[in-house]
Amino acid sequence: MGRVRGDPVTTAREDELIVAETFGPTFQGEGPSAGQQAVFIRLSRCNLSCGTHTSASWACDTPYTWDWKRFDPKDPEVARRESVGALLAWALSLPPRLVVLTGGEPMLQWRGLERLAVGLRAAGREVEVETNGTLVPRPTLVEAVTAFNVSPKLAAAGDSERRRIVPDALASLARCGKARFKFVVNHLGELDEIAALARRFALREVWVMPEGTTAGAVLDGLRAVAEETLARGWHLSTRQHVLIWGDERGR
């Protein structure tokens, strides 16, 4: 099979990254560091397509990182190449100590991502990588990051299990000691699916986070899953940026 044109794994140089957007200072809105001031670098491209299948019950909130039926990857508002040096200079010019590297799936561009994470850590920044957990991190990246916020996708995201759940990648992230697992949920029934994954991959730190791009939807979701999340011994994450700013881009 031929290589996909524009595939960042094969075309991005190691000193540059294909970026969707950079933004901040804002607050890390999700997971264990929620509420901390942070700057964000959102990389373009994803290897999943949450929400595009008829079986899906929620949809990706950053389709401009991967959905070329709806967005033009040649549009510089959608995707642009930036050098690792320029991204480092931008992040280090801003006060927040925390830098969140997200996507899309940022680990697709692992060469540049590693360089960026190493540079940020060398400059004394904390680095969190938001990932869908389908790619095995290399030791250099594990060493450089403060934490991986891993969000394995459940059946309701719509992709096949073979695409969503990559056992080697989840096992490797679980073993690396820096991963917390943050599951996006859309209904209560999904907690059994999370429990099965937590058992299978010995996931230690499990976070449940309701899906939603409006404050009302996030609050309804939190209320729907709170008791059962407590009962199972897991943590609960809001989506603070959505509570404050809704679906506004760059927040």
Ligand X SMILES: Nc1nc2[nH]cc(C(=O)O)c2c(=O)[nH]1
93 has binding-site annotation: no
Task: Report helix angle 215-231 to 190-200, nearest 10.
Answer: 50
Minimum Å gap between C-beta 149 and ligand X is: 7
The residue within the footprint of ligand SF4, chosen from 20, 43, 46, 166 (CB under 6 A), is 46
- Name the amino acid, one letter, at 150: V
Question: Does the footprint of ligand X cover residue 27 (CB under 6 A)?
Answer: yes
The verdict on 50 binding ligand SF4 (CB under 6 A) reads: yes
Q: Which is nearer to ligand SF4, 50 or 222 (CB)?
A: 50
- Cβ proximity to ligand X: between 195 and 240 the closer is 240
| Residue whose CB is less far from ligand X, 29 or 51 | 29
Quick check: 30 binds ligand X (CB under 6 A)? yes
Choose among ligand X, ligand SF4, none what residue 104 binds, the Cβ cut-off being 5 to 8 Å by kind: ligand SF4
Question: Secondary structure of 168-227 in the HEC alphabet?
Answer: HHHHHHHHHCCEEEEEEECCCCHHHHHHHHHHHCCCCCEEEEECCCCHHHHHHHHHHHHH
Amino acid at 98: L
How many residues lie near ligand SF4 (CB under 6 A)?
13
Known binder of ligand: residue 8?
no
The number of residues making up the chain comes to 251
Which residues of this protein are in contact with ligand SF4, per CB under 6 A?
46, 48-50, 60, 62, 65-66, 103-105, 132, 153
Which residues of this protein are in contact with ligand X, per CB under 6 A?
26-30, 100, 102, 130, 241, 251
